[in-house]
């Protein structure tokens, strides 16, 4: 299944813990290898996942303009306006611009137009799993 430039194949499991596995590519230069889970774990092959933070080789934490604090990973090119509440476990990839007035809790994954969070709707109102929304035109269940 492919829509809005995101390629999603079989074997995706997305529940409250947000698991994305089996080599899927989300957004620009962000690849999650086979069996990786977003959460408080560390995995090999150049991918570090700890406290909801995913850092792959393509994000280069030693580069410039990167801020890593309170479970928030922000690499080059982020624009953050006023009035944001950013909790732990937030992942944002290159070039993402947030509008105003968003409140983001824990366990949120943000990358190039993908927002996954309980009860939040992005795109054309399609929902997957337990209140998760992934772009427009994608409809998934908990164990798709």
Whole-angstrom CA distances from 11 to 23, 44, 51 are: 10, 20, 23
Residue 43: which pLDDT band, with cuts at 50, 70 and 90?
very low
pLDDT at 12: 36
Buried/exposed 39-74: b ≥16 CB within 10 Å, e otherwise? beeebeeebbbeebbbbbeebeeeeeeeeeeebbbb
Give backbone dihedrals phi and psi of 110, rounded to 5 degrees, phi first: -120, 120
The larger pLDDT score, comparing residue 126 to residue 82, is at: 82
In the numeric block, which tokens belong to residue 8? 């999603």
Whether 23 has a pLDDT exceeding 50, the answer reads: no
Whether 90 has a pLDDT exceeding 50, the answer reads: yes
pLDDT at 38: 37
pLDDT at 129: 35
| pLDDT, mean of residues 62-72 | 35
Taking the model in full, what pTM does it have?
0.28
Is the backbone of residue 138 left (phi > 0), alpha (psi -120 to 50) or beta? beta
């Amino acid at each position: 299944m492919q829509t809005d430039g995101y390629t999603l194949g079989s074997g995706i499991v997305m529940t409250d813990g947000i698991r994305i596995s089996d080599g899927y590519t989300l957004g620009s230069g962000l690849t999650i290898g086979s069996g990786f889970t977003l959460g408080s774990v560390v995995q090999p092959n150049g991918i570090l996942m700890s406290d909801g933070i995913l850092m792959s080789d393509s994000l280069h934490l030693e580069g410039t303009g990167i801020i890593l604090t309170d479970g928030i990973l922000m690499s080059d090119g982020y624009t953050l306006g006023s009035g944001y509440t950013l909790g732990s476990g937030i992942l944002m990839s290159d070039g993402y611009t947030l509008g105003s007035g968003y409140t983001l809790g824990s366990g949120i994954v943000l990358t190039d137009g993908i927002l996954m969070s309980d009860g939040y709707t992005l795109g054309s109102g399609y929902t997957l799993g337990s209140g998760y929304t992934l772009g427009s035109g994608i409809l998934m269940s908990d164990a798709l």
